[in-house]
Structure 1
Amino acid sequence: MGENRHSSCLVALAGALALCAAFCAGLSFGGPGSAQAQSAPAAVDVALVLAVDVSRSMAVDELLIQRKGYAAAIADPAVLQAIGYGAHGRIAVSFLEWAGQGHSQLVLDWTVIETREDAEAVAAHLLAGRSLGASRTSISGAIRSASALFERLSFDAERRVIDISGDGPNNEGLPVVAARDAAVEQGIVINGLPLMTRGGAYSGFSIDGLDRYYQACVVGGPTSFVVPVWDWAEFPEAVRRKLVMEIGGVAPGHGPGPSSDPDPAAPYFADQGASGKRALPVQFRPAEPYDCLIGEKLWEQRRRNFDFDR
């Protein structure tokens, strides 16, 4: 009789644990369709961290343009087509907003995109929230935070890519070259979207030739490239083109098709946007040595003129 009661208790306990596991499996963290909530796929073609600058040099309307631009690009037919062309037909994305070395906000945790519905759910999640600006600019901190996200992947990724955008140089934390080199050594590719714009209250900490800075100091890894944005009106299109190239794993001008530039020595390659500007592959290096500490030096020179940090 005692043995029967003991067996019944074990069965009841097993049932309770099963219900608990089923409940926990239904929980979602970080947005719709997150990888933690889905049954993990065997592999994705690319795991992509979208790392977006929200430092105080960005105006409020510019922060909104960024959210809308990424949302529109993710659900764009050309991006969905690029996903479908992959060997696995799916990618994983996460969305990280960053500023100073102490500010890194995960807006969207790892989420698999395989269908149009997946992409539209991610876009809706990005549009549902709003970005909050913070002090200083630590590109190195953003790279380190983004790199750490790859350690949480629950499935294999053929490629790991950090897509980092920003409107100024690193001025806080670890030197950006050290963070970049550490990420590249781990097999991570870093692509850049330098914002050649002025509008925030602290744009005085920006530099001319930010695209060259990104190219020399931020971007790295095979097929890596830079897509400069000169005007906010072209931002959504620039993000769309950049995502298509990243998902395909092809540097501008190096892929098949009529968009390829026949001159491999040209500093500006294919995928020309409406502004007439082109993407720069990282393999093209400035002729002169570049000072990758220019942001830190500029901060030290000008910080006394401001009441609080950028």
Structure 2
Amino acid sequence: MVSSPHEAMHRIFRHDPHLFSRLSDVLGLPFPATIEAVVLSTDLTETRPVERRVDTLLRLDSKNDGSLLLAIEAQGKRDPAKPASWAYYTSYLWTKYGLPTALLVVCQDRATAEWAGRPVTSGPPHMPTLTVRPIVVGPHNMPVIKDPAKARTDLALATLAAITHAGDPDIGAILKALSTALRDVPENVADPIVEFTAQGLANSPAKELWRSLVAVDLSFYTSYLSEEIRDEGRAEGRDEGRDEGLAQGSAAAILIVLEQRGLDVPDDLRARVTACDDPELLRRWLVRAVTVSAAEDIFTTE
């Protein structure tokens, strides 16, 4: 039951909507003089279903510090409406579960990461009632993992790092380290890593490189991505669908790696690579393309 003091403490502001302006003087708040004050409905009940979904929600339990919720959002670009949605998510989850709630935002480019990491406050600057301050993961703070041994120690972290560095000039070396690391792990462990990486790279040039690395380095796997590449070769009516499809994919991957690394790719080199139909030779060139200082050096020992 609502008590009389409770009613009086807030209804006085309905009685005199301009009261807060005068109260701000008492409190020493630099609140601007109110021109008009309007009493609005106090009913905050949703009158129709509103679908609001956080991308991923985890409850993390700790032996000594209790439990907390972690809401995870993937953000591909700036969105002025997002901070308000994030504030809703965290306050709703705090209310529903009664647990402290943290927000993690994952980005693929530095500009979006910097934008997402800025604290956004609901309320006037001098009265910051609610501040949204996400933890941000992106290319600015994720490791660049180019050592297969290091990638193998934590495949999930290596995958997330590769996804966030999709536009990095070293993406070729990053993906090569990951595909090499996957050679020695069971297929049921490698499959989700292969698919998450492909999804995370979206339509970037790096995705084609990843497809080729999977098809060459993990050709003995039967993952969705490997089968997709092989099916493409068969669908185009190639007599040697798999080998020729892999050759074309590897040739494209070599050129992408060289270009992404900022190396000059002469027309004669491009023609030699695309004309090659030897998957094993192309594989050796692809491995070298990740580290050579000049594009022509991929042919060093041939």
User: Under a length normalisation based on structure 2, what TM-score does the superposition of the two structures give?
Assistant: 0.31
Structure number with larger C-alpha Rg: 2
The alignment's TM-score, normalised by the length of structure 1, stands at: 0.30
Higher normalized helix content (fraction of residues): 2
